[in-house]
Amino acid sequence: MKKLEINVPRNRESKGLKDGGHVILECSACGAPLTDCWITKPDFNIKTKLQAECPHCGDHSFEEIIKGGFHLGITDYTILIDQVYEESITGNNKVFIQTAKGAKSWPDKPL
Ligand SMILES: [Zn+2]
């Protein structure tokens, strides 16, 4: 799998990337961290709807609207398998993120 570029030092601007902040998509049902979305081009005038599936309980995250350009990264609990782009006639493109279980199991503590 392609290594995602989330480990670029946060205080350095390289290749025109800025640190526009991170948005963590969490599962709406079990709360597992599913995807680390790092906004690297906050000045880009685009909006993208993101939603990730949850490999832990089979549900998925709420939809998050991301403004600008971004990279998608893994979390300790969840890795990324694929991204499905859905074009929308209303203008906001949607990316549905397919995931699998990561290095740590979720929940990390017994309930
Ligand atoms: Zn879940």
Entry pTM: 0.79
Residue 111 in any domain: the answer is no
Q: Is the pLDDT of residue 3 over 50?
A: no
Report the number of distinct structural domains present in the chain.
1
Determine the distance separating the centroid of ligand 1 and the alpha carbon of 47, expressed in angstroms.
Answer: 25
Token pair of 13 as six digits: 């601007």
Residue 110 in any domain: the answer is no
5 contacts: CB under 8 Å, gap ≥ 6: 71, 73
Determine the distance separating the centroid of ligand 1 and the alpha carbon of 101, expressed in angstroms.
Answer: 11
Residue 106 in any domain: the answer is no
Token pair of 12 as six digits: 């350095």
CB-count exposure of residue 12 (10 Å: 0-12, 13-18, 19+)? exposed
Residue 32 in any domain: the answer is yes
Token pair of 43 as six digits: 């000045």
Residue 109 in any domain: the answer is no
CA 49 from chain centre, in angstroms, equals 10
What distance in Å separates the CA atoms of residue 8 and residue 29, rounded to the nearest whole number?
31
> What tens digit of pLDDT does each residue of 17-48 get?
889 999 999 999 999 999 999 999 999 998 99
pLDDT band at 8, cuts 50/70/90?
Answer: very low
pLDDT band at 13, cuts 50/70/90?
Answer: low
80 lies in which domain range?
2-101
Determine the distance separating the centroid of ligand 1 and the alpha carbon of 71, expressed in angstroms.
Answer: 22
> What tens digit of pLDDT does each residue of 52-103 get?
999 999 999 999 999 999 999 999 999 999 999 988 777 678 999 999 999 9
Residue 108 in any domain: the answer is no
Token pair of 103 as six digits: 């290095």
